[in-house]
Structure 1
Amino acid sequence: MVVGAWWLLTPVLLIVVFFGPSNAVLNADEKDALLTIKNQWITTNFTSWIAGTDPCLNITAWRGIVCDALGEHVITLNVTKMGVNGSIPEAIRRLTFLESLDASEPDKAASTNIEGDLGPLASLTHLKSLNISRNYRNGSFPDVIYNLTNLVELKADNNKFTGNPSLSHRIGNMKKLETLYLGSNNIVGSLPAELWTLRNLREISLWENKLESEIPKAIANLTNLEFLNLHGCKLWGGIPSEMGALKRMRTLQLYSNTLTGRIPDTMQNLTLLSNLRLDQNYLSGKIPQWIWSFQNLTNLQLEKNSFEGSYPAMLQQTLSNVQLDCNYLNGALPVMPSRFSNTQKWDVDENCFTGQDIKERSIQCKWGASNAACTEYFASVANGACPPCPADQQPYNTTVCTCKPKDEESKTNTSAIVGGVVGAVGGVLLTVSIVLCILWKRKKDHAKLMGRFNPQLAEELYDPNWQAPAGVQRFKLSELSRATGGFDEAHEIGEGGFGKVFVGEFKDGRTLAIKRASGLVSSSQGMAEFRNEVLLLSRLHHKNLVRLEGFCDESGVQVLVYEFMRQGNLHAHLFRSTKRLNWYKRLEIAVGVAHGLEYLHSYADPPVIHRDVKPSNVLLDDNLIAKVADFGISKATDTEATHVSTRPAGTAGYFDPQYFIRQQLTTASDVYGYGVVLLELVTGQRAIDHTRISNFNLVEWVRPKLKEEGIRAIVDPKLGDDYPEDIYQDMAKLGLQCALFDKDSRPTMKEVVNILDTNLSNCIPPPPSDYSFTWESGDSDYPTKASGSASVTGASTSSYVSSKLTDPDLSHKKMSSSLLPR
């Protein structure tokens, strides 16, 4: 009987041993750390992470938290789409068992924005996965990452680090790395040799960095590599034969570089390839026949190169996208296979096939490698000669027809030969003319300089102890002069309170906006104020603020250098452009400006009042992401010096009316200006318009019309009926609330952000238009983990609200808090 009783108890004991007690709770210190992180780091109206509940036992109450099997420690922290903003809290150091941290932002227009040097991560020695993609904008590549030697996955792409960072050789310490995503980060220079020793790497994505180097032969060490994306990295030279060692490769993307030479035959070992993109290079020779035999290949893009030879007799059935246009393929003109529905998936245009119409070649094939006519090209490669090298390159290995960048000596010698020929005709006269011009210009410039700058102050202005802040470049005046053609009018793109604005093209390929003060410093105090302003501006880092790249304080000049925003300012898009900003893009811009101002008010140290919020101070990048400009600097009353002024710098129509009563500018003054901008986005009307007979002040025009006639009476006619009325009604009301006369009745920018973020998150963007940014192809910059994702086609104008709101009748209804997705 005793033995039988013991046998009956055995299962119970096993359950206790293997599964532990049912009342296990999270370590108290870790729970307190999570609540501190919530209070210090998460800025949205976040209803999860409820005090008094256990994160490991109440999963629904603690979004983004995963605990270990015993429920005693947090091992995963995911704060994606939680509105993370600011430096990583020190409290995260207490999550010592953390294995995965995801602070990425998949949405381009969302609000995640990590600041600081990521120092607190140093304590997370168990961390295996770190994702900070699309948000970290402060300074250079964070060194603390190199200390996380247990990382298996590192994703830090789309951060655009400042200061021309390069990867450290310390990356070689991260032996366990399998995934490395560092695309679009302004990384400069060749990659460290230690990177190619990380034999566990399976995925590398380094697209759109400024590597300006060859693909190293040491890449052969990475035999586990399955995904390699180096597109847009300014790579030169050839594809190394060592690439053939990567037999597990499935996706290889080397497009948009200046690669030359042949496709090496060793690459026929890459039989698992499903996606091969070598387009937009200067590759030449015949397309190897073995490529057409790859049975897993679905996407083949070789367009815009200098390939020759014939079209294959048969294509693999797996191929669903074939791009061969703008090459020099010849022979019989191929017929599109029946399985391809259109030429978007099969394109052989602009080649040299018999009977092919090539009249449009010079127009369609503007890419440097394929812009020559067929007869011209074949003449240049007759008798086995190599094709011409790209501009600024010279022959490297004529056996395989590769090229390399011209060295300075070669450039000098070439110039000397040309100069010698020209000089033989009229060298003496030319020299005399140049000397006379230089002497005249020096005399003129000296007189101009002496009239505005006291040379006795030069020594006083020079301060050897003052160090430029980290992350910004101290430009020489000669550099800026070269970049702008001597500050020529042809480079002038605008003029503001600080002075004239020029666009400059620099040797390293950068295009930057250069703001030069209209006057020179007349005292050491003026220079000290300017340098202090540079120091303050260097601390401001947010995706919705125009980034300060550098400055110049040489010889009493004051120059600020910013990132160049190619799409100009919002004022031009609203009131001058013939194109139409759609309803969604306007909402995105409103959200972006709000985030930028909220950062200045709430997170800048010290806080910053913009003082002149208006559409012309909202700039747009290539993707029409809004960035606030001209914060922190205004024109002083002294015409001989430009520096920080405490006097108001406002514009009629956007200026806070309370200032005339209180003689004081506050953050509420910026809120007023923002409210007017928001109304301009909704109505398409100017802040002040004397042709608007009923009321030339926009705020006073909107207020009665919105109340009496509704949103349709004020909305921009350019939008037609293509906008969500409820959302635009809310935007107009919010604009009026921001523009209330009583400053204490206006919302804060944080409150504005919360309202607009909610609206944006519940909207589905309309189909792409002229203003929409689209990728070059459907290829992703990263491996696709799953297929079969749904796509929305033929979306009607009613499809504004996110599909998370499952009731189709809610698409135009007021979105109360009870309807918002949790």
Structure 2
Amino acid sequence: MWVSCWRGMEGLRGVLCLCSLLGISLLFGTVAAATNPADTAALKAFHNSIGNDPLSKLANWKGDDPCGNNWNGVLCGGNGVQYVEELHVLGFDLEGSLAPELGDLTNVTILDLMWNSISGSIPSTLGKLQNLQLLLLNGNKLTGQLPMELGRLTNMNRLQIDENQISGPIPPTFGNLSSVKHLHMNNNSLNGSIPPDLGRLPVLKHLLVDNNKLSGILPSELANISTLQIIQVDNNQFDPLPIPPAYANCSSLLKLSMRNCNLYGSVLDFSSLVNLEYLDLSSNHLYGMIPNGSIPVNLTTMILSNNVLTGPIPASFGNLPNLELLDFHNNNLSDIDPGVSAAIHNSSELRVYGNPKICDTPAPQDSKFCSPQNSNIEKGTNLTSSFALCKPDICQAGQGLLPTLAAQGNCQCAPVIRIDCRLKSPGFVSFDKYLQDFQSYMSKGLNLSVGQVTVESYNWGAGPRLHFVLAVFPSTTQTHLSFNYQEVKAIFLQFASWEIPDSPVYGPRELLVFITPNGIDLFPSGNAGRSRAAFARIIIGSIAGTAILVGALMFFTLRRRASPSPSRKHLLSSTHNKELKIEGIRSFSLQEMEAATDNFSDKKLLGKGGFGTVYEGMLDIGEVAIKRAKDKDISEEGLTEFYTEIQLLSRVHHKNLVKLIGYCMDDGEQLLVYEYMAGGTLRDRLSSSERPLDLKTRLSIARGSAHGILYLHNAADPPIIHRDIKAANILLDEKNEAKVSDFGVSRLAPVPDLDGLLPDHVSTVVKGTPGYLDPEYFLTRQLTDKSDVYSFGVVLLEIFSGQHPIFNGKNLVREARMAYKKGDTISLLDPNIKNYASKETDQLLIVALSCCNDQPETRPSMAEVLRSLENIWHQYCGFNRHSNESSVVDIDSNYTEEQRAKIYASLTDTTTSTFSTESTTSSTSNRDSTSFTQKRNFGRSLSSR
């Protein structure tokens, strides 16, 4: 065939024919790449150990190539020989046992066998899976003891064995799980003591061992875990001893639930647990009085029912702004402080029935609290019934009413993905008040627009655990309202792989059922394609064939042209080694980068993030920072961001913008070389109590950052919208001078059209960081320079408070608005600011809140922001004022004359600002030092980390 192809055609046609055949050969040859024999044998052994497959989900597990034949639930990776990386058989209703050969899947990162009927014990051979990150065995019928060997899985992030019948002790070797964040072992028959070895776990966040048969002493060593957020040990029978006093020092603790644990003693003083929101010590043997002032100010829920507590309900419970439930029923309490009664409102509840001295009197003090009826705490809601303007059951099976349209009476149906989930340990008792925030949280986690994700129904179950049904809709911006297979699969993997970021408020969640729209099978039975590697191989094969064809065309074209143009020479270079000829920006080799960082040694590590990793490096020009992309897979989006940052930074030069020195694109690597910033990120410095920033430094950082952003908006040609302003993207040098960094998602501002008209926005997909996103941009996808202003306003709030944009389930912008409205801004002020100056800090807060106005047109421009910050700076430092307001702003001498003129024009054109820091007199500015100290102590809960 090859010979006839060549002889049958001459010249170019012959070559094209041969190239076509070669491309086809490469395509099919690549697709046929075999699975690692050990992985194949392990999966076959597992298949044989499954006694029953009632849903025929494993019907296509045939042959000797699981990856090439797309076995259901199998995801593969690797070049050449394929390895099994993930196994997802969630809800297949499989019976049988776990084959020991599963321990031979040495490259597997996820074993997802949730919600089947698998019995028998957990094989000790799973301890060989050194790459395993998620071991998900919950919801089966497993018995036997936990193997000691599981303690070898030092890369494991999540262990879920809950809702089985596993017995025996928790192995002390679990103290070696150095990467584990989630230990979910609840609802089994585990016995013995909780091993104190767990206190060595460096990053553990959630410890759930409730509903077992544990006994012995509660280990005080758990208090050594600085990251621990949830301790849930309900319904065990520990030794009748007091709660370990060390638990009152777990500063990161959000929830402590020790219901029905046989505990004796008094209630500890938990006031130092500033993050604690949920405390349940009910059904124990606690006695004595509840100490006044012992309760953290952020507490939402406190349950002390069914104990033998005496004395009054202290007045400090009347100072809980986020209170949802106080449950003190069935004790011997004697009185309710009047302030507590007055603080209970429609969104909170107090239960004191079963306290004879309060309720069983001729005229009860507060009879409204003596009824066992729950008037405010929801038990469950069907939210789809709220669309009163639409007829019920209007949609076909597999569809749902588009909520954003149905609320307006437009009863349009669309395919819907329904996801049954459960919150295992929520930090609240009233879901209704969190509903909108929860839907936004899930939307952001799935990278979908607000309105695409809604909660259809929810109900509370034992635990208490919150079961809910989530509906995911296609975007209404699409021409055809539908999902394709890849979109459905991506959403499934985000749930099944726990890629949605954790939330301190909502706690750990579990996936129960994933229901796809009609016509889409999440686990197709034929060769429709399940593995990630299969798609990659097809694409690679296709590209190879195409590249050969293009190469042949170019070969004959170039032969006919003696001097190819630079553009044609450029086509010959490989994508991965693309040269960017930009004046002033150096191109480095990978060898130079490796030498500069000691082969990317951990000792040179400066930080990690979604982009990848930053290393400290040493080149011939001195110390530098080298940003390395997360992996070698260069996606179109990743390349775009990479080139964007190089091109933009090569054009902008300002002392408050990080300088790009060079880049490297050898061997598929993406590396950027920047000037070294010894002070780290503003976010890290605000979170550091060892090197706190004083007010003067904070004001200097604010004005320096504003200078850099103003340059982008007004002096760059064309102007630039940064699109990801945040504290982590503001870097500090050794003198704490601020420089704005990370231009990977930046966009050029609108330019005049053919008629000379300047559009007021750029329509683009939403990019940025949750907590900093302009809400108008998020909803409309219309990007303006005011979007940067909003994000910078959030940064100013961080400078003021020291808090993250989202902290303890609270939104910093919302909290700042409430504090300012109440005249209690001191409660939000960072306690690390020692040199407090009420006038300047209040003015800074006003500027920040003005930037964060919901409507872009009501926000100031960056020129107005900078001028106000300069005014605050000069006022604080006692500088003499100039008669011309704009002349207070210091303009960098490195500007060109044209750029300086633009900046001065923007400052001079600013007339009446949306705020006035000059005329504002804060309600807190004249407070004496005593009241200030009291307010600060009260406000530490908002300011601490």
| TM-score (ref. length: structure 2) | 0.34
Structure ranking higher in strand proportion:
2
Q: Higher RCO, 1 or 2 (CA under 8 Å, sep at least 6)?
A: 2
| TM-score (ref. length: structure 1) | 0.39
